[in-house]
Amino acid sequence: NKTASEAAVLVDELIPAVKDAACEVVICTPFTDLVTAVAKTKGTNIHVGAENVHFEKSGAFTGEISADMLVDLGVEYVIVGHSERRQYFAETDQTVNKRALAALNAGLKVILCVGESLQQREEGVTEELVRMQTKIALRDVTAEQMANVVIAYEPVWAIGTGKTATAEQANEVCAQIRKVIAGLYDQEAADGITIQYGGSMNAKNADELVAQPDVDGGLIGGAALKAPDFAAIVKAASK
């Protein structure tokens, strides 16, 4: 969403709306908006992220953007493995792992997405699937690098569908992800990691979702396109 000029307007509205946030605020924009977003947010409490990254430093990958290119722009974060990338652009657990490593090795912070489809939830394989996605995505990621990883649980069946996982469902899966981290690394890493919920979180349900013990924040889609709605979610996360 948003051309560079539209993004400029939204960022101008967001800056005063979230200036008192007691949580970290990150906006992830399309590649064409990144220069604008970085320039606009300089000196504010808003961090900027990209929506994807390629896994090679450079080379014959026409149309792709490398981690070094993002770092050079002043970008701090990148989303990796978003369900839409997996669904429409053939990304796999393995390519998600390669992207995460490329981003971390370049000094970016990674927002790593995992989650199940409606069919998978109905088949009762949510826990196994999310555990597998998390493990494969984090292969070769060091304990040190984990300090720069955020995990976003996004049930695919709850994205843009208006369906939201109940606060209890969201918490249950986030708790399972934390358990996986404890097994891969240690309890300290598990306690320290930020685990977000991303599936139709909005101004109305944010309070209830972020009040859950294992839900540390939100990965916001459509509700972030209006400054007042996004500000309400930030307020909920700041409590």
Task: Give one DSSP letter per residue of 173-237, joined into a string.
Answer: HHHHHHHHHHHHS-HHHHHHSEEEE-SS--TTTHHHHHTSTT--EE--SGGGSSHHHHHHHHHHH
Other Cβ atoms within 10 Å of 67 Cβ, number: 25
pLDDT at position 160 over 80: no
Tens digits of residue pLDDT in 43-72: 999 999 999 999 999 999 999 999 999 999
Q: What is the pLDDT of residue 226?
A: 96
**Choosing from 154, 168, 172, 208, which is the catalytic residue?**
154
Cα separation, 3 vs 20, whole angstroms: 27
Q: Say if residues 46 and 10 touch (Cβ distance below 8 Å).
A: no
Residue 118 CA to residue 43 CA, distance in Å, equals: 42
> Of 54, 82, 91, 116, which one is the catalytic site residue?
82
pLDDT (mean) for 90-117: 97
Nearest alpha-carbon partner for 104 in 59, 149, 150, 49? 149
pLDDT for 137: 98
Q: Name the residue among 144, 145, 83 with its Cα closest to residue 115.
A: 83
Q: How confident is the model at residue 237 (pLDDT cuts 50, 70, 90)?
A: very high
Nearest to 81 by CA among 71, 70, 92: 92
Facing residues of 109 across strands?
77
In whole angstroms, give the CA distance from residue 43 to residue 218: 23
- Tokens 């393995």 belong to residue: 94
The string of pLDDT tens digits covering residues 124-140 is: 999 999 999 999 999 99
Q: What is the DSSP string of 47-98?
A: EEEES---SSSSSS-TT---HHHHHHHT--EEEES-HHHHHHS---HHHHHH
Beta-carbon count within 10 A of 170 CB: 28
CA-nearest of 221, 120, 116 to 170 is 116
Record the pTM. Answer: 0.96
Token pair in block for residue 52? 């994807």
Known catalytic residue: 154?
yes
Tokens of 109: 């912070």
82 an active-site residue? yes
Q: Residue 165 pLDDT > 90, yes or no?
A: no
48 contacts 8 by C-beta, under 8 angstroms: no
For residue 143, the SS3 value is coil
* pLDDT, tens digit, 9 for 90 and up, residues 170-215: 999 999 999 999 999 999 999 999 999 998 899 999 999 999 999 9
* DSSP β-bridge partners for residue 50: 29, 78
